Amino acid sequence: MNYKKLGTTDLDISTICLGTMTWGEQNSQEEGFQQMDYALDKGVNFWDTAEIYSIPPKEKTFGHTEIIIGNWFKKTKKREKVILATKVAGPMRPYVRGGGNQYDKKNISEALNGSLKRLQTDYIDLYQLHWPERNTNMFGRLGYEHNENENWNKFEDVLENLKGFIDQGKIRHVGLSNETAWGVKKYLEISKDHNLPRMISIQNPYSLLNRTYEVGLAEISIREEIGLLAYSPLAGGYLSGKYRNNQLPKNSRIALDPKFWTRYNKPNTSKAVDAYYEIAKKNNLDLAQMSLKFCEIQPFMTSVIIGATTMEQLKSNIESVNVKLSNEIIKEINDVQKLYSNPCP
């Protein structure tokens, strides 16, 4: 396994992060336990979850993934071997504390204490704001629409709220998710100017089908030492090749909930996937492993979050750290990006 520092901290985290969002929906607790056992044994010490998981988010499965992880901690007594990340949900869903703005002290307190209880731990290594409270571009949305009159919790107040929980020992570090370049820079400026906790990571989408992070945010990641935790590095499974030629495998994410995963079903998705498949085939590489390795080697990358529903997928994804991509393969990948630029933003 390969390791990098988590932002400006002294934590060494695996460059492959164990994603967990299917546990409690597509995967049972037993299957989640098997994944955690295997991943930790292979050196994957960084795990990511969220209070709103399982995915797709539903009221009846809210918090289920954290419960499964907590039960594993209780069973194995291995909490100290894991660098654990979770997230407080942003606004939008009425069943999450009424659905309004969430990053005030009261709501963060309720969310954090709920996560701690479900995870059966007394601290979170990385506590992330799952998505912005303000109206901005996220989850594949294009065309920014500015609203001068909308309200959200001031960034300084949010950092003050988080500082209180850091001081209590409930949170070690804080990070962002689904954030824009403007949002990241503002948080960094405010933390510096007011001596408040510094955001140490950005969890945003990045894959061969969505390299929009490279515009603006990549430079910030490198210069400010606030690396990317890439989610959807296989674009919801499209970059495994399993949906090629109009295939729809039983129990796949797209088959189970096609409406939730529409951000990847775009006009040039299939063309781009086919082109990347041919590169992998020509070089005797597995498409998914090639896709993950390309993400891992980016200079702005801290860790690539994988999400497997089978042990076969998990083993293959973790093995991607041992794949080598030549300069010629990288050039071919970049040529496809020029031809089909970010088909799934």
* 3, 53, 243, 277: the active-site residue: 53
Is there a catalytic annotation at residue 53? yes
Among the listed residues 206, 204, 290, the one whose alpha carbon sits nearest the alpha carbon of residue 241? 290
Q: What does the alpha-carbon distance between residue 276 and residue 183 come to, in Å, rounded to a whole number?
A: 33
The residue written with tokens 């949010």 in the block is 158
- Cα three-residue angle 138-165-175, rounded to 5 degrees: 30
Burial class (CB in 10 A: 0-12, 13-18, 19+), 242: middle
Question: 116 vs 44, 125, 222, CA distance in Å?
Answer: 22, 11, 32
The residue written with tokens 């654990």 in the block is 84
Among the listed residues 153, 169, 182, 139, the one whose alpha carbon sits nearest the alpha carbon of residue 52? 139
Using only C-alpha atoms, the chain has a radius of gyration, in whole angstroms, of 19
Q: Which amino acid, one-letter code, is at 229?
A: L
74 near 63, Cβ under 8 Å? no
- Tokens at residue 112, please? 């954090």
Q: Backbone phi, then psi, for 12, in 5-degree steps?
A: -95, 115
Angle 29-41/311-319 helices, nearest 10 degrees? 20
Among the listed residues 210, 281, 213, the one whose alpha carbon sits nearest the alpha carbon of residue 241? 281
Q: What does the alpha-carbon distance between residue 55 and residue 178 come to, in Å, rounded to a whole number?
A: 16
3-state class (DSSP) for residue 4:
strand
Residues forming the active site: 53
